[in-house]
Amino acid sequence: MTLKKILFICLIFLYGCSNNLPKNISMESPIYKTDNVEFYYDLTFEKDGNIYSERRIFDQMEDIIFNADKFIVMDVFLFNNLYNANKFNFPKVSGAITNSLIKKKEKNPEIEIFFLTDEINTFYGVYNTEELEALEKAGIHVILTDLTKTKGANVVYSTFWKYFFSWFGTKGYGWLPNPFSPDAPKVTIRSYLKLINLKGNHRKVLVTDKEAFITSANPHNASGYHSNIGFKFSGNIINSIVDSEIAVGELSKVDIKLPTVKFENEGKYGIQFLTEGKVGRALDKDIDSTEKGDKISIGMFYLGDTSLVKSLINASRRGVDIKLILDQNNEAFGMKKSGIPNKVTAKKMVDKTRGSIQVKWYKSLGEQYHTKIILIEKKNKIILNGGSSNMTKRNMRDYTLDANVRVIAPKSSKLSMDVQNYFEKLWNNQGGVYTIEADNLDEKYKSNKFFYDLQNFSGFSTF
């Protein structure tokens, strides 16, 4: 290879590393005021030897769709009914949301509805799904998010794929197995090459002219029993959310035009919309500002960001009381997993603080503790941060599209008490068995840590 060719390839990679995100991707909105913020959660748990599943979030989604007048924008990561029907029987979540959107469009033909989702649902364009086809047939704008312009966690591979493989597309005859289900259409090797970019539109956003809902829950059949959280709210923050979704549409060369809504900018709650890397920046700042006597409670599916782990350890050493409820990362849709990253980061935090940071596992019954929420209790206020973003490099450092809401609330407010009661219920197993002691942190730790460090360094990460 000649020196000119080597320099040309190096320049391409440097350009890929320096790509800036488009405007309003990675957003930190102003802090708005509102009196209307509500907390919701889904839980699957054991009680008296029986398994129960409490589902509130998807019902709220249907209510929000029903109450909209002028527009609806829904942006979700997983939205399909593909799974191994011979092994599992999941609730028909995707179909219910599809029907709600179609009924709304039929009842109000003038309403603008935009449905954004990740290309993983069509396995990067290899096939379509019945839900997306039904939405399009009903006159609803369906946008499969084009993430070509965004960064990949593995910059070298993503840049190489962008300039040398992306031109070949992904459609055509498929002969490789579909990871969603053995009954799903087979896929192409080119679609797997696109998958390895490890990019994703991981948001879970529902916004209308009246209210918004930011959650950790995918309206996806195989995710129907996962434990999740969500915040429903109204106010001028809706306009910032719409601006952010317009930017996602622009990534895919789709022009989303929606009217501005107006609310009174007053109320007891301060509320802020955060996406992508701004989620991480806000968490870094809020955790680093904690003092002795403050408390941090975290419920999280994936906790893997090394910088944030270090911040939590430092906060604990300052005298901050920290409790973590984590998924064990043992299973995903019936497939066994190694426990990475949570079993590595949990041990590190417990060891480095000599047990001052307390960790419990959510007792999964085959589903996931898919929650993403942080509660910071200070002397005179509560800071909440929750939504779609895991506490990982991929989710909160500008490598995937994610959306969280940050709320500053009085300690005496209903919202504060609702979230505090949620954590107490799970931590103390009030009314059911939700959590168990994290007493197996040494199991396979060395091998897990090796792969955790390798994935963090390379960007080829399962978390």
Per-residue confidence in pLDDT tens, the chain, 463 aa: 566 545 555 555 555 555 567 788 999 999 999 999 999 999 999 999 999 999 999 999 999 999 999 999 999 999 999 876 556 689 999 999 999 999 999 999 999 999 999 999 999 999 999 999 999 999 999 999 999 888 888 888 888 888 888 888 898 878 999 888 888 889 999 999 999 888 999 999 999 999 999 999 999 999 999 999 999 999 999 999 999 999 999 999 999 999 999 999 999 999 999 999 999 999 999 999 999 999 999 999 999 999 999 999 999 999 999 999 999 998 776 667 889 999 999 999 999 999 999 999 999 998 999 999 999 999 999 999 999 999 999 999 999 999 999 999 999 999 999 999 999 999 999 999 999 999 888 888 999 999 999 998 888 887 8
* Contact (Cβ atoms closer than 8 angstroms) between residue 257 and residue 47: no
Measure the CA–CA gap between 297 and 347, rounded to whole angstroms. 17
pTM attached to this predicted model: 0.94
Q: What are phi and psi of 318, to 5 degrees?
A: -80, -5
Measure the CA–CA gap between 402 and 304, rounded to whole angstroms. 16
Where b means 16+ CB within 10 Å and e means fewer, 42-75 reads bbbbeeeeeeeeebebbebbbebbeebeebbbbb
Q: How many CB atoms lie within 10 A of CB 149?
A: 14
| DSSP 8-state class, residue 433 | B
Q: What is the pLDDT of residues 206-223, one digit of tens each?
A: 999 999 999 999 999 999
User: How are strands ordered across the β-sheet holding 435-437?
Assistant: 32-34, 269-275, 403-409, 382-387, 372-377, 295-300, 321-326, 358-362, 435-437
Q: Which two tokens stand for residue 318?
A: 């300052």
What angle do helix axes 130-137 and 93-107 make, rounded to 10 degrees?
0
Domains along the sequence of the chain with CATH? 21-251 (3.30.870.10), 269-458 (3.30.870.10)
Q: Which two tokens stand for residue 222?
A: 């195989």
* Contact (Cβ atoms closer than 8 angstroms) between residue 229 and residue 184: no
